[in-house]
Amino acid sequence: MKDLMTRPDKTKARVRSANMIVQLPISLEYLGACDELDRYQEIEVALGELLESRGLGVCDGNDIGDGIINIFLYKVSDVAAVVNLAVEYLRAKDWLTEGCLIAAADDTEKFKIVWPEGTVGEFDLFNVPSRDEAM
């Protein structure tokens, strides 16, 4: 991911924020089981609180369907810090499962997978990459 800092002139730096998506698989093809929906709601709320309390960005909703849930993060000031925060949170809750992806983009580029590192393939808002693509 390219540097999200730009210097329009030598006297001041303008920080551009990034947008991020935390993408998680769900067990049922359309909406997932009730306990999964509760878990994803908890993840969304917790990520929002963690980001806002650290001044790293905001969490603003989700999209669910076709076997995945996307949690949307906006105004992210430090992509690496948010990736670490999200992964640590999901790992601590034992919710870091195969198929989890984190993607990021600034306002000038397409979303790129930033976690797991080394993931091959394009990020798709509506489809989790196959196991071969995600490895």
117-131 pLDDT per residue, tens? 888 778 888 766 554
Question: Per-residue confidence at 36, pLDDT binned at 50, 70, 90?
Answer: confident
Confidence of residue 20 (pLDDT cuts 50, 70, 90): very high
Tell me what the mean pLDDT of segment 49-78 comes to.
92
**Chain Cα centroid distance, residue 124:** 12
Query: What gap in Å lies between CA 69 and CA 52, rounded to an integer?
Result: 21
Q: Round to the nearest angstrom and report the end-to-end CA distance of the chain.
A: 19
- For 2, residues 6+ apart whose C-beta sits below 8 A from its C-beta are 106, 109
| 114 pLDDT more than 70 | yes
Please list the alpha-helical segments (H only) found in 70-124. Answer: 79-92
- Which amino acid is present at 14? R
Length of the chain: 135
E runs forming strands in 17-57? 18-25
- 8 vs 68 pLDDT, higher one: 68
Checking if the pLDDT of 71 tops 80, the result is yes
Q: What is the pLDDT of residue 2?
A: 44
Per-residue pLDDT averaged across 25-49, rounded?
78
Give me the chain's average pLDDT, please.
79
Q: Which amino acid appears at position 11 of this protein?
A: T
> What's the pTM value of the predicted model, to 2 decimals?
0.78
The whole-angstrom distance between residue 44's C-alpha and the CA centroid of its chain comes to 11
| Higher local confidence (pLDDT), 58 or 118 | 58
Assigned CATH topology for domain 16-134? Alpha-Beta Plaits (3.30.70)
Please check whether residue 103 is in contact with residue 96, taking contact to mean a CB–CB distance below 8 angstroms. Answer: no
d(CA 7, CA 56): 20
Lowest-pLDDT choice from 31-40, 81-90, 92-101: 31-40
